[in-house]
Amino acid sequence: MATPVVVSRIQNRRGTKAQFDALYPVGYQGTGFLGSPRWRTTPAPFSTINGNGEVVTITISASNLIRAPIVGSTIVVQGVAPAVYNKPYSITTVTEPAVGIIVLTADDSVMGVMTTPGSISLPYVIENYPNILQPGELALCMDSRSIFMGNDHGEYIKISVNESSLNILPLTLLLEPAATPTLIPALSYDAVNFFTLFYDVTDSPPDFTPPDTTAGALGVTFTKNGQMNITAMTFIPTVNLVDVCNELNLRPEYDISFSAQFDNNTNPTKIQIFYQHNFPGTLTFSTASLQWL
């Protein structure tokens, strides 16, 4: 990243969550393997396909399409006999010779008499969905308080589900002694497959004097920093937290531990973090991770 980058003004959009969803194929979730194609959820069946050695013509009912392909877009034909037709095509014309009937053509040398019709899928590329968020473009859904940012390869990133206010950490919390696992309300996250939380904890009160205004002061007899690697699944509702840490503790008879679990196992929406410690006084917990509430 040695080359300087000129940052231009980023375009933003606003509207409802339904309007945002309408930009994308039905069922599209925004993320996947980087660079992999995103397919229309259900392939659209067509009635005929014919190739004369120069042009391939496909006739399809408009009711079978979520939206008609546009000139320059890419479709993938599948399920046809003869199989020579089953491949991608770049659309050169789109016409509607009768109400509800769409005819697509593509320049291609394939030939053959169709014996079994097939279906088309629309690969998830910018040519097929020109209204999606561009890389770096933001969308604010005012009714759901959700923020999305466009990414490469047609992806988008969900930045937040803002239920009340936007909190940007570092966050400093005071943890009282607790003999049993005790919920940390500020550390409640949307239920996802995995995430990592970086933290530090000391036996000193928080230091709010500059420049270190977001972390605990140096520990007196105990200091610990680490990361909570959290993994979850719903088939057998399970949340696993692995605490990878480095600590200095002059009083080994005292300790602190962390655990995680779903807010409920029937329909989990949140992963909650718990702590337990037997130190005689309050510990100061700080995290430098980013949390959107």
Helix (H/G/I), strand (E/B), else coil: 56? strand
Whether residue 6 is contained in a domain is answered as no
Measured distance CA(84)–CA(64) in Å, rounded: 23
Whether residue 280 is contained in a domain is answered as yes
Same domain, 195 and 268: yes
Question: Residue 121: is its pLDDT beyond 60?
Answer: yes
Which long-range contacts (C-beta less than 8 Å, at least 24 apart) are formed by 124-128? 124/25, 124/28, 124/37, 124/38, 124/39, 124/40, 124/154, 125/37, 125/73, 125/74, 125/154, 126/154, 127/70, 127/72, 127/73, 127/74, 128/69, 128/70, 128/73, 128/74
38-52, 76-90, 191-205, 224-238 — most confident range: 76-90
Whether residue 215 is contained in a domain is answered as yes
Whether residue 293 is contained in a domain is answered as no
Question: Residue 97: is its pLDDT beyond 60?
Answer: yes
Same domain, 105 and 58: yes
Measured distance CA(214)–CA(84) in Å, rounded: 64
Residues 6+ apart with CB under 8 A from 159: 146, 147, 148, 149, 292
Same domain, 60 and 187: no
> 18: domain CATH number?
3.40.1620
44-53, 151-160, 226-235 — most confident range: 44-53
ω into 211 cis (within 30 of 0): yes
> 80: domain CATH number?
2.40.30
Q: What is the pLDDT of residue 126?
A: 62
Same domain, 250 and 111: no
Whether residue 110 is contained in a domain is answered as yes
Same domain, 24 and 150: yes
pTM: 0.43
70-84, 106-120, 200-214 — most confident range: 106-120
Same domain, 107 and 177: no
Q: What is the mean pLDDT of residues 267-287?
A: 90
Phi, psi (deg, nearest 5) at residue 159:
-80, -40
Measured distance CA(271)–CA(269) in Å, rounded: 7
Same domain, 176 and 260: yes
Whether residue 292 is contained in a domain is answered as no
The DSSP letter of residue 18 is H
Same domain, 182 and 276: yes
Structure tokens at 257: 């531990």
Cβ atoms of 46 and 117 closer than 8 Å: yes
- What's the total number of domains in the chain? 3
Buried b (16+ CB within 10 A) or exposed e, 28-41: bebeeeeeeebebe
Measured distance CA(47)–CA(80) in Å, rounded: 11
Of 224, 158, 166, whose CA–CA distance to 195 is shortest?
A: 158
Identity of the amino acid at 247: E
Phi, psi (deg, nearest 5) at residue 84:
-60, -20
Cβ atoms of 124 and 39 closer than 8 Å: yes
Q: What is the pLDDT of residue 42?
A: 58
Same domain, 138 and 117: no
Helix (H/G/I), strand (E/B), else coil: 263? coil
Same domain, 136 and 182: no
Q: Residue 197, Cβ neighbours under 10 Å: how many?
A: 21
Whether residue 194 is contained in a domain is answered as yes
* 215-249 per-position pLDDT tens digit: 456 788 999 989 998 898 888 889 999 999 999 99
pLDDT, the chain, mean: 78
Same domain, 25 and 155: yes
Question: Residue 36: is its pLDDT beyond 60?
Answer: no
Whether residue 1 is contained in a domain is answered as no
Same domain, 150 and 16: yes
Question: Residue 39: is its pLDDT beyond 50?
Answer: no
| H/E run at residue 179 | strand 178-190
Q: Which domain holds residue 77?
A: 44-121
> 259: domain CATH number?
2.60.40
Q: What is the pLDDT of residue 142?
A: 79
